[in-house]
Structure 1
Amino acid sequence: MAKLLKGKEVVELLNDKLINEVNALKSKGITPTLGILRVGERADDLSYERGALKRCEQVGVQVEVTALPEDISEKVFFDTLEKLNNDSNIHGILMFRPLPKHIDSEKARAMLKASKDVDGCTDLSLAGVFTNTKLGFAPCTAEAAMEILKHYDISLTGKRVVVIGRSLVIGRPVAMLLMHENATVTICHTKTIDIPSITKDADIVIVATGQMESVGKETISEGQTIIDVGISWNDEKGKLCGDVRFDEVEELVEAITPVPGGVGGVTTSILVKHVVEAAMRTLEN
């Protein structure tokens, strides 16, 4: 039976720390504030927004939601984004993506200020991840995976870590974060030949395939630590599932994140942490 790397413990400790930091900022006249920019009403956007609102409320972070209709003109969208960029009372911006096809997503990413990019989607934020500097913020999911490893005292120095997935949301940035902690990292992807021959030699496997239950015991070895980043609704099972076939892998590995209850909840807390950090950085300028 594997040890479950539950996100709840991580969230609780993060919340306690954030409450203290928020109170300290408020004593200096600064109320950390998240600006949410959402176009349309996608179910997954609304779900994440509800989670963010709840977590912000728990620690005292203020939220201002700007909800635009699906058919909003590109000009109005960019005018709205620029207004949030220039509002000194907004410390972080969560811009839901993907945007509707008639809005230039690349232009939106380029326009968003890195100093307010609390979801880590801009090129400057990603450059900061690669150079290990505070140019912006790391993507929340990538940092959440790292926070879980840190919380459960899973050493990374000298360890062999395989990341399955190469997206800019998790795969590539988490690989960089792992290397900053002195891990030896291999990235596998859809064009990798014989993935099991690579993953089976790893100490830690981070699974971010984006494909529900795509990784099973044929890919995993005994004694490994598994971080499952995926979360999808399984109609057949009537429940949320990850990218890992949990039931067949749990009996082999030493530790694994459950889905739900693992990386997802921590991701929302990292978003709020970034808002507080952005507010703190205003004191440094």
Structure 2
Amino acid sequence: MPAKILSGLEVSAVVKERVRKAVNELKGQGVQPCLATVLVGDDSASATYVSSKQKTAKELGIATRDHRLKASFMQQELLDLVQLLNNDPKVHGILVQLPFPKHIDEFAITSSISLLKDVDGLTPYSAGMLQNGMAHLKPCTPSGIIEILDYYGIDVAGMDAVILNRSNLVGKPLAFMLLERNATVTICHSKTKGLAEKLRGGDLIVTAVGNRGRFTLTADMVKEGAVVIDVGTSRHGGNMAGDVDFDSVKEKASWITPVPGGVGPMTIAMLMKNTVSAASISRGMQ
């Protein structure tokens, strides 16, 4: 039988409804959740992402602060802005859109974000807390993947999970989240030897390459009954596509995420959830 669809659209709608209720409860206690976004430069994809996050926040009743900065904005100026947002009690979440122009040190900026406002889960503190299973604010895309698995009742305990990504945004934090749920995790990347063989051993495959010219997950790389999560996005044949050759892989997998409509909507939904969590934490509430 063809794989069942893991719909990020369906799950994100559920998450956003929970967020909407939490926002109303916080407002009733005198707290207006607020998300500040910072975009440096004029990258069109980044601008689209930020606009989408702003739009969703407003729909859910979350206030927003939108900072659009020229590509010439200097690193110290950006550090000063982040510090202003750190010190503003009306701002609960800070998101700095990556990537930055080359003259700005990504680590320096993300490290400067208050641990209580790190709604992207990117600071060293957040990463350390995640590794120890104690993080309150977790990276949005991996959290969205876990939310999808939970919604559809997929228990990863005992599974061999193969992640094709080693970034701080997806691969590394997801590995810790899956380990916490008793999966056995293998992280693969561009230098991995015998990649196809490792993928064929996966009960759960998460691929996040985002370049169909470099990599496509084909049916011969997937074992029967595997769960396949596609995080990649790129243009392929004039259309938006993921890493997965969807039509062939769905005939072997048990569950599969589509692109679009899979992990993408979850990333924004979990950002909204983190913003509300940060607003609650700022007032000592759960």
Normalised to the residue count of structure 1, the TM-score between the two structures is 0.95
1:97 is matched with 98
Aligned AA for 2:166?
R
| Correspondence 1:228 to 2:238 | no
Q: Distance in 1 between matches of 2:204 and 2:107?
A: 33
List aligned pairs for 1:1-285, cutoff 5 A.
1-134=2-135, 137-212=137-212, 213-234=215-236, 237-284=237-284
Partner SS, residue 284 of structure 1: coil
Pairwise CA distance, 1:199: 2.0
Partner SS, residue 283 of structure 2: helix
Partner SS, residue 26 of structure 1: helix
The question of whether the paired residues in 2 share the 8 Å contact of 1:128 and 1:137 is answered with no
* Offset from partner CA, 1:7-33 (integer Å, 9 cap, x none): 111011111111111111001110000
Q: Distance in 2 between matches of 1:61 and 1:233?
A: 32
Q: Distance in 2 between matches of 1:261 and 1:74?
A: 36
More displaced 10-residue stretch of structure 1: 195-204 or 112-121 = 195-204
More displaced 10-residue stretch of structure 1: 169-178 or 241-250 = 241-250
Q: Distance in 2 between matches of 1:102 and 1:186?
A: 34
More displaced 10-residue stretch of structure 1: 109-118 or 223-232 = 109-118
The question of whether the paired residues in 2 share the 8 Å contact of 1:37 and 1:95 is answered with yes
The question of whether the paired residues in 2 share the 8 Å contact of 1:15 and 1:58 is answered with no
Output the aligned Cα RMSD: 1.4
Pairwise CA distance, 1:209: 2.5
The question of whether the paired residues in 2 share the 8 Å contact of 1:159 and 1:183 is answered with yes
Partner SS, residue 220 of structure 2: coil
**Relative to structure 1, is the Cα distance of residues 208 and 66 closer, same or farther in structure 2, using a 3 angstrom cutoff?**
same
More displaced 10-residue stretch of structure 1: 243-252 or 91-100 = 243-252
Aligned AA for 1:152?
Y
The question of whether the paired residues in 1 share the 8 Å contact of 2:39 and 2:50 is answered with no
Percent of residue pairs identical: 35
Pairwise CA distance, 1:211: 2.7
Q: Distance in 1 between matches of 2:103 and 2:183?
A: 42
List alignment gaps of at least 5 residues for structure 1. Answer: none
Q: Distance in 2 between matches of 1:37 and 1:165?
A: 25
Aligned AA for 2:233?
I
Pairwise CA distance, 1:249: 1.0
The question of whether the paired residues in 1 share the 8 Å contact of 2:71 and 2:101 is answered with yes
Q: Distance in 2 between matches of 1:105 and 1:198?
A: 32
The question of whether the paired residues in 1 share the 8 Å contact of 2:7 and 2:262 is answered with yes
Q: Distance in 2 between matches of 1:189 and 1:71?
A: 33
Aligned AA for 2:187?
I
Deviation >3 Å, runs of 4+: none
List alignment gaps of at least 5 residues for structure 2. Answer: none
* Offset from partner CA, 1:247-277 (integer Å, 9 cap, x none): 2211211110000000001100001110000
* Offset from partner CA, 1:123-149 (integer Å, 9 cap, x none): 111112111113x62211111111111
